[in-house]
């Protein structure tokens, strides 16, 4: 990790929030920013959060749209235009990331923080089924961490879950029924189902999970989270997940993130004929209403859709919307 934004005194700074470290790490991988830029952003986030606490008595994750407008007006009167633009950019990036990670529920566009000369976001083309198959075969299965990586990749592709949802799974939540109840954005509950491939690799990983903990000097009961690390922390962290996906994808000539794998899940399901309505339910998009009763009554239907329309489903056949090459359904070990 870059010490520029993870100094040991951060706990004593009133404006610091540990989630800022995750955000800055995300920026490091997403934008390739220099340490000096990350340090400046860190200081700005601390100052912004401290200002919110002092002015309104609420932290950054409980912000209201008018808070940001007031902050930029109150602190930006004597700033150069370039500095003010940088502050606007950093706040929009922070809240866009926080929305994706289910930390806040307000879209950053509601803050009305225009950035002059801001170019539209480039639409990233999701990987093909063949490219995903190559990616899934990248981990070294001769070691426990390689098996963990394979299980993580299989589960992301099998479910389209967000990175934060993957990392919050507890080990006792893995059952033979091959489904999970997760809480996504705005704490909305939904059902996530997965197939035989993901189940198989989860079983292989769980069998060696304690080896990873022991290699890191952790107690075998150090954490209840499913995915663990041999690093400083027993829990598998966001920056480790992102770095892992990036490393393996680069070996395939790609530049993927956990989020682009989520896109691949949705795209491949749609290409295979699944309706947008069911894809949206599986992804947990915020505009869909879900409830515990609805989820409970539709477990069988969701599983049927998965095995028919997911490229790694048991009875999947390439047949509908777009002409593409099918991949095999056999396990690759």
Q: Is 319 assigned a catalytic role? A: no
Residue of 44, 185, 242, 310 with catalytic role: 185
Domain with CATH 1.10.150 in the chain: 3-111
Please state, in angstroms and rounded to a whole number, the distance separating the CA atoms of residues 304 and 313: 9
- Number of helical (H) and strand (E) elements in the chain, helices listed first: 13, 2
pLDDT at 302: 56
pLDDT score of 285: 61
- Does the domain at 3-111 match CATH 1.10.150? Answer given as yes
Residue 288, sorted as left (phi over 0), alpha (psi -120 to 50) or beta, turns out to be beta
Per-residue model confidence as pLDDT tens digits over 264-321: 888 888 777 777 777 777 777 654 333 222 223 344 545 666 666 667 665 566 554 4
Annotation marks residue 270 as catalytic:
no
Q: Looking at the domain that runs over 129-309, which CATH code has it been given? A: 1.10.443.10
Domain with CATH 1.10.443.10 in the chain: 129-309
Catalytic residue among 262, 303, 310, 312: 262
* pTM for the structure as a whole: 0.56
- The dihedral through the CA atoms of 10, 12, 14, 19 has a sign that is positive
pLDDT tens figures, 237-269:
988 999 999 999 999 999 998 988 988 888 888
Residue in 188, 210, 259, 263 annotated catalytic = 259
Q: What is the pLDDT of residues 121-157, one digit of tens each?
A: 444 577 889 999 999 999 999 999 999 999 999 999 9
Residue 185 designated active-site: yes
162 is an active site residue: yes
């Amino acid at each position: 990790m870059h010490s520029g934004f993870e100094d040991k005194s951060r706990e004593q700074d009133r404006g610091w929030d540990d989630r800022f470290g995750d955000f800055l790490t995300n920026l490091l991988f997403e934008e390739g920013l220099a340490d000096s830029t990350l340090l400046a952003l860190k200081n700005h986030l601390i100052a912004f959060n401290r200002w919110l606490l002092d002015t309104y008595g609420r932290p950054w994750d409980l912000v209201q749209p008018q808070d940001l407008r007031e902050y930029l007006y109150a602190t930006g009167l004597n700033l150069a235009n370039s500095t003010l633009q940088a502050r606007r950019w950093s706040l929009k990036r922070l809240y866009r990331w926080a929305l994706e990670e289910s930390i806040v529920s307000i879209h950053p566009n509601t803050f009305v923080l225009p950035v002059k000369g801001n170019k539209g976001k480039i639409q990233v083309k999701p990987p093909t089924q063949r490219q995903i198959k190559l990616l899934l075969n990248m981990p070294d299965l001769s070691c426990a961490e390689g098996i963990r990586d394979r299980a993580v990749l299989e589960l992301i592709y099998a479910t389209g879950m967000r990175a934060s949802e993957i990392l919050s799974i507890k080990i006792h939540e893995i059952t033979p029924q091959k489904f999970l109840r997760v809480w996504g954005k705005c704490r909305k509950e939904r059902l996530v189902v997965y197939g035989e491939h993901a189940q198989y690799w989860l079983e292989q990983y769980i069998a060696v999970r304690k080896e990873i903990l022991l290699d890191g000097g952790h107690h075998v009961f150090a954490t209840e989270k499913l995915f663990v690390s041999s690093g400083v922390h027993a829990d598998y962290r966001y920056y480790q997940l992102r770095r892992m996906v990036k490393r393996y994808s680069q070996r395939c000539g790609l530049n993927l993130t956990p989020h682009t794998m989520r896109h691949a899940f949705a795209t491949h399901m749609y290409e295979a004929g699944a309706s947008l309505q069911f894809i949206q339910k599986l992804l947990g998009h915020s505009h869909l209403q879900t409830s515990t009763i609805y989820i409970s009554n539709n477990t069988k239907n969701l599983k049927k859709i998965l095995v028919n329309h997911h490229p790694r489903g048991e009875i999947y056949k390439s047949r509908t919307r777009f002409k593409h090459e099918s991949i095999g359904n056999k396990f690759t070990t």
